[in-house]
Amino acid sequence: MYRISLYLSSIDLIKDLASFEAAGIEIVPILSPREYSRQGNSSIKDVGQYLNFKGKKVIELDGLYTEDELHEICHWVKMVSHQDRIHFRVKDLGLLYFILKETNAYAEFLGETYNNSFAISTIAKFGERRITLIGLSNEYSYEMIEKVTSRVDKDIEYMGFGPNLIFYSPRKLLSPLGKVDNFSDDSTKTIDKGINLMGKSEESPHKGFMLHEGSLGTLMYHPKYLNNLNEIFQLIKFGIHSFKVDLRMIRAIDTLPLLENILKFFKKNQNETLENYPHFNGYLRKNKSNKIFHKLKNRVFEDFDLAGNKFIGKCIDVHNQKYILIESFNKDPICSLDIAQFLNPNGKVIKASLEVQECIHQSFDKDIYRIRFIKGVTPMSRVYFENLG
């Protein structure tokens, strides 16, 4: 049995889901009240109607909340949580803590910024039986998923199909750009419908972003839908039994035909096409771990330190082939005939005997020496005494 956490653009579409029932698949429509969720598909006023549908009830409250906002939400959660076996799907640790401590409700945790199995297992232990599901970041590779599912005895969810969030701002960034008489001055309208735009930058290689603004701020999505539908049965082998399918940005008229197509992937394990929806295939086969940006600026220094060479100081001037100034942090004085290694900023090492002309400055934390010019040494090179051990 596996589950589809389904996000629809409107609560009105839920009633049509009965026709999609299939053995072995549980479709759980998620209610996202726009008052407290990042991208709402309903209002808190719709909860009563939602609770009348049969099946599991999951209300998503996926914002991050400041103290004042959390007070208001907690008040609402407490009222709603009396409903039998209601699940709240949350991201904010404060809201999670409140639900577990102050209500009897169950929680699903969206661990989208948690990139390791240690964090996920800590959350799982903290919630014990009351956390029933943990959603993973869309960036997880198979290797990372396996680490989580082998450590954590919970239902673990991964993205099946939907827009891939890459930015979440607490501020409303689009409203101020609009004409006063149209959108920006009418906050009710913004909250009700949200703003959807396509953004694009000339200054970086990306092609564009889908932008959505609702009551909790502005969200930015990858321009294509993340599609892992061809990977479903492989994911199941790796311990994933719950899949997020997010159709909130799909027009109501197109939703059910698309859902029908998507379900074919779950039912038949055969390749369907989703030609009308530009998509990309995610990160499951790439371990992005090895793609961290490393500026190696200081690593060569670290290697030098680790080799046991004694750091003396820096060349602060190399003057017209006449002299070099060394700023020394060494407690012992530098003397003529000392053998030093100069590590230039480009990584080149010059080894030379020193000829000290004078100590031109002494203070409690550093001395400055003037030494005879040495060919190849450049300003800002680091000076070491060699490890002779």
Partner 1 sequence: MELLIPAGNMNKLKSAVQYGANAVYLSGQNFGLREASDNFSLEQLREAVEYCHAHQVKSYITLNGFLHDEDILHVKDYVNFLNQIKADALIISDLGLISFISEFNLIPIHLSTQASCLNSSAGQFWKKHGVKRLILGRETSLAEASEIKRDTGLEVELFIHGSMCMSYSGNCTISNFTQGRDSNRGGCAQSCRFEYSFKEVNEKNNEDKFSLEKSKSYFMSSKDLNGIDLIPEYYNYKIDSVKVEGRMKSEFYAGLTAKAYREAIDLVGAGKTMEFNQRLPILNNYLNKYSHRSYTHASLLEKAQVDSIYDERESEVEGQHNYVGKSLGLYKDNYLMMSVKKKFTIGCLLEFHLFSGENVTTKVGEILDLDLERIEKPKPSSVVLIPLNDKIPNDVLISLVHGG
Options 323, 344, 352, 372; binder of partner 1; rule CB under 8 A: 323
Min dist. Cβ of residue 57 to partner 1 (A): 23
Asked if 321 touches partner 1 (CB under 8 A), the answer is no
CA count, 13 A, side-chain hemisphere, 235: 30
Closer to partner 1 by CB, 273 or 293: give it: 293
Within a 10 A sphere around the Cβ of 90, how many other Cβ atoms?
26
3-state secondary structure 56-80: CCEEEECCCCCHHHHHHHHHHHHHH
Residue 348 CA to residue 376 CA, distance in Å, equals 9
166 binds partner 1 (CB under 8 A): yes
Q: Which two tokens stand for residue 253?
A: 């008229």
Site track for partner 1 across 99-138, x = CB under 8 A: --------------xxxxxxxxxxx--x------------
Distance of closest approach, residue 367 Cβ to partner 1, in angstroms: 10
List binders of partner 1 among 269-288 (CB under 8 A).
Answer: 288
Nearer to partner 1, 54 or 179 (CB): 179
Alpha carbon distance 28, 381 (integer Å): 63
199-218: contacts with partner 1 (CB under 8 A): 199-206, 210-211
Which of 75, 129, 268, 297 is close enough to bind partner 1 by CB under 8 A?
Answer: 297
Minimum distance between the CB of residue 387 and partner 1, rounded to whole angstroms? 12
- The residue within the footprint of partner 1, chosen from 8, 59, 124, 144 (CB under 8 A), is 144
Q: Which of 317, 350, 355, 385 is close enough to bind partner 1 by CB under 8 A?
A: 317
26: contact with partner 1 by CB under 8 A: no
17 interacts with partner 1 by CB under 8 A: no
Length of the chain: 389
Q: Which is nearer to partner 1, 22 or 198 (CB)?
A: 198
Residue 53 interacting with partner 1 (CB under 8 A): no
Long-range pairs for 294-301: beta carbons < 8 A, 24 or more residues apart = 300/343, 300/347, 301/343, 301/382
Residue range at the interface with partner 1 (CB under 8 A); choices 7-15, 323-331, 334-342, 346-354: 323-331
Regarding 233 and contact with partner 1 (CB under 8 A), the answer is no
In the complex with partner 1, which residue's Cβ is closer, 105 or 144? 144
- Both tokens of 116, joined, read 């390791």
Residue in this structure with the two tokens 């991201």, named with its chain if needed: 91
From candidates 66, 104, 276, 353, binder to partner 1 by CB under 8 A = 66
The residue within the footprint of partner 1, chosen from 105, 220, 343, 354 (CB under 8 A), is 220
- Whole-Å CA distances, 212 to 132, 194, 235: 29, 7, 30
- In the complex with partner 1, the residue whose CB is nearer, 319 or 351, is 319
How far are the Cα atoms of 209, 279, 283 from residue 286, in angstroms, in the given order?
22, 17, 5
User: Per CB under 8 A, does 187 bind partner 1?
Assistant: no
174 binds partner 1 (CB under 8 A): yes
Is residue 64 near partner 1 by the rule CB under 8 A? Answer: yes
User: Pick from 1, 24, 45, 182: which binds partner 1 (CB under 8 A)?
Assistant: 182
CB 248 within 8 Å of CB 34: no
Residue with tokens 């020394």: 328
Query: What are the backbone dihedrals phi and psi of residue 142, each rounded to the nearest 5 degrees, phi first?
Result: -55, -40
CA dihedral 73, 78, 81, 87 (to 10 degrees): 40
348 binds partner 1 per the rule CB under 8 A? no
Kindly state the number of chain residues that form the binding site for partner 1, as judged by CB under 8 A: 97
Tokens read off for 285: 């086969």
Nearest 5 degrees, angle CA 15-CA 20-CA 26?
95
